Amino acid sequence: MTIDIATYLLYLAISIGLTIWVAHTLHKNGRVFLVDVFHGNEALADSVNHLLVVGFYLINLGYVSLALKLGYTVATAKEGIEALSSKVGMVLVVLGAMHFFNLYVFSRMRRRATTRFQPPPVAPDAFTAVREA
């Protein structure tokens, strides 16, 4: 096996491993949030959680696959490690950005769900009798 091929294979193994780990973390810890957002409707929370994770996998694996090509040949092990490092570094940054985006989506959903039960923003100026229409 040439150093080129070894670099590619290592890149795929590390990137896919990282994607699975982040998706798993998101899936496990996002559920609590979603159950709260959907007022204890666990079936709906699980469904949305699953759909979010599928989207997460698609985007990340898509990026990993598109970014595979090096564009130059790697002759030595040193060059191989350098190429691997910069590729995996980009994958980590993309994963991080996606992860924070997901957190933003979760917190936004949660905020939306909780404002529904919040009291008026101001106190009334006066009180008056109300007759039915």
Partner 1 sequence: MTSLTVLYDPDCGLCRRVHAWLGEQGQLVQLNLIPIKTDEARHRFPHLDHEVTSKDLTVISDQGEVYFGPKAWLMVLWALVGYREWSYRLAAPELLPTVRRVVSLISQHRYQIGRVSVFRGE
Enumerate residues 109-128 that contact partner 1 by CB under 8 A.
111, 115-116, 118, 120-122, 124-128
First to last CA, the chain: 85
Which is nearer to partner 1, 43 or 130 (by Cβ)?
130
Which is nearer to partner 1, 71 or 119 (by Cβ)?
119
Return d(Cα 21, Cα 10) in angstroms, integer. 16
Q: Least distance to partner 1 from the beta carbon of 107, Å?
A: 13
* DSSP secondary structure letters along 52-78: HHHHHHHHHHHHHHHT---SS---SHH
- For partner 1, the binding residues (CB under 8 A) are 111, 115-116, 118, 120-122, 124-131, 133
